[in-house]
Amino acid sequence: MTRLSVNINKVATLRNARGGDNPNVLHVALDCEMFGAQGITVHPRPDERHIRYQDVRDLKPALRTEFNIEGNPIPRFTNLVCEVKPTQVTLVPDAPDQLTSNHGWDTRAHLDELTDIVTTFKQAGIRTSLFVDPDIEMVDYAARTGCDRVELYTASYAEGYKADREAAIAPFVKAAEEARRVGLGLNAGHDLSLENLQYFHQQIPWLDEVSIGHALICDALYLGLHETIRRYLACLQ
């Protein structure tokens, strides 16, 4: 079964716009779990413009499902992850001022540093995933780091879905097959939505997890959080 992990960054963005604690990030995360989500994802950035480092500490003891922390493994992030010990850490090559994730790792160029940080997290008992573009070579070099999974960056799929979904999915199927061949687990995320998720899952049914935030939270404004999660889960059946 492919797990749905809800990224709650946008909830924190709304909270931070006015200060205070409304909406409450922890409350929303627990509601997502209650409504059927099998995981919670956060991506704390150095400027804490949405999820704060303290949010990560507050969430860990309260969550009942898998906890996934995403981010660039700068020392502060690495220390936080080793302190909190989530189920999974997903390493993303974001610049400090980057608006949102827009590319995967060049796992060949960064092989040595990624191997070192993957070793650090795995020694702490944390499942480790690398954010990669749908490129067979990047998947192969990811496997050489010793990581457990790769997460395919799905923005190009979402962008091409309406025009030609078969062409849009093709490189992802190849990358997913390569991940399976080299023994890596498989996650996917970025711009997946109610429009394009079901087809993606149909073509790559061995996905372990999808991480969805922006589209899901937007849908919840119209449908309500409970109904929205129900519909996303239905796409993964």
Catalytic residue at 70?
Answer: yes
Confidence of residue 101 (pLDDT cuts 50, 70, 90): low
Q: Of the residues 33, 70, 151, 209, which is catalytic?
A: 70
What pLDDT score does 94 carry?
80
Q: How far apart, in Å, are the Cα atoms of 33 and each of 17, 74, 137?
A: 25, 29, 36
* CA nearest to 51, candidates 69, 27, 31: 69
- Judge whether residue 35 has pLDDT over 80: yes
pLDDT band at 183 (very low <50, low <70, confident <90, very high): very high
Q: Which of 78, 40, 45 is nearest to 58 (CA)?
A: 40
Annotation marks residue 227 as catalytic = no
- Residue 66 known to be catalytic: no
* From 33, 43, 66, 151, the catalytic residue: 43
